[in-house]
Amino acid sequence: MRFLIACLSLLILSACSGEKPPKEDDVNRFSSYWDSTTALVTTQVTGILKAQEEAQALISALDTLPDAAETGLKARLTRKLQALGKASEASFAFVNRWQEGAARLNAIKESGNGTLSPSDLQELQQLEQEGQQQAKTWASQLDSARVLFQEARMTLK
């Protein structure tokens, strides 16, 4: 009985003693999350760039209208274009950090052992979660831009 208690005590102590490096399966699983977030971030950044182009085109088209009543819509589009410009700058700064994280993850995967230190994994997980949050924020900004763009297109008809 003493032997059993001693073995269980050692097992419990070893399980609680510090962080263990993530296993290769954990790295591969995380890598798939990373890849899906990469696609999400890429979609939103591309959407921001397209929305900037569309906003500029709509502003130019509104300039051709003789009616001064559209100046309010034009002013809102101009503000939206400025907001998209700020989102674009922020997205490019984030993409630079994202690419650095992707390079770290790829280096770990290509090293052959697939091991990742717990602190590296935690940093990359935080970056991946930030990517999801950023993508949600950008999606919300794009949704509000699309509503405004639709209003402008209706006005131009």
* DSSP conformation class of 7: H
Would the pLDDT of 123 be above 80? yes
Q: What are the residue ranges spanned by the domains of the chain? A: 23-156
At 81-98, the pLDDT tens digits run 999 999 999 999 999 999
pTM: predicted TM-score of the whole model, two decimal places: 0.79
In 3D space, the residue among 60, 62, 83 whose CA is nearest the CA of residue 72 turns out to be: 62
Spell out the residues 6+ positions from residue 115 whose beta carbon is closer than 8 angstroms to its own.
Answer: 21, 22, 23, 24, 27, 108
Q: Which fold has domain 23-156?
A: Methane Monooxygenase Hydroxylase; Chain G, domain 1 (1.20.58)
* Per-residue model confidence (pLDDT) at position 16: 42
Best CA proximity match to 87, nearest among 50, 33, 129? 50
Q: Give the model confidence (pLDDT) of 6-17 as tens digits.
A: 333 333 433 443
Q: Which tens digit of pLDDT belongs to each residue from 59-69?
A: 999 988 876 65
